[in-house]
A and B are shown apart, each in its own frame.
Chain A
């Protein structure tokens, strides 16, 4: 079964850091782009960052630049999002998702999503 399981969310103070993980199983992880998408309470989907299958190509939303870093460990079938200088407006459910098509590109439609992990930034 193709599956993504996020972890690492929690409560963090403004200015703090957090690392999210997304464990993948059931597919050849290194062949697919992966992405992080977040959703604040009652709000729409907001794309955060994406990485190609090889890890060579990375896209970031303006909201992530300079504060969030996406990475992947293809030997561990795991995607990461290192978040620093966190702000209240970063409070959201963070989803990881798998690209639809086999290939070393970065932007894609995303066919498998994890259940999400909640990040709360508050003092």
Chain B
């Protein structure tokens, strides 16, 4: 089974900051990686698929990169609405989620 490890688990940042969340796969998943945003009490929302393709309607301050085993989600300038928990998900072999990164206000 492919394991997905996100870092950090918690990230404190301020509005306007540039933040980077990392996701590592235990083996190559090529670019079969998605990123989701989840707010308390709500379903996850797809942000990025195929490692770097922005889902329709998602603000351009979100971007994804990487291939193989190392991936990043970057938010170029944090907005108040961005404070949430973020998950990566691989879909190269079965499906696995990372453990999540909680982005909190500094």
Spell out A's residues near B (CB within 8 Å): 35, 37, 44-47, 50, 59, 61-62, 95, 97, 100, 107-111, 113-116
Contact = CB atoms under 8 A, between A and B. Distances in A.
B49 interface: yes
Contacts of B93: 107
Interface in B23-70: 32, 34, 36, 38, 43-46, 49-50, 55
Interface SS majority for chain A? strand
Contacts of A114: 43
B46 A59 contact: no
B44 A44 contact: no
A95 B50 CA distance: 22
Given A44-B98, A110-B46, 7 more contacts: A37-B97, A47-B89, A47-B96, A61-B94, A100-B46, A107-B92, A113-B45
Report, nearest first, the 3 A-B pairs whose CB atoms are least far apart. Answer: A109-B34, A113-B43, A109-B49
Interface in B73-95: 87, 89, 91-95
A116 B87 contact: no
Contacts of A107: 32, 91-95
Contacts of B91: 107-109
B51 to A, nearest CB: 10
A59 B44 contact: no
Given A109-B34, A109-B91, A45 B46 contact: no
Interface in B7-26: none
Contact of A111 (B32, B55, B94): B55
Contacts of A50: 94-95
Nearest to A42: B40
A113 B46 CA distance: 9
Nearest to A114: B43
A111 B46 contact: yes
A59 B50 CA distance: 20
A44 B94 CA distance: 18
A44 B99 contact: yes
A113 B49 contact: no
B49 A100 contact: yes
B87 A44 contact: yes
A109 B89 contact: yes
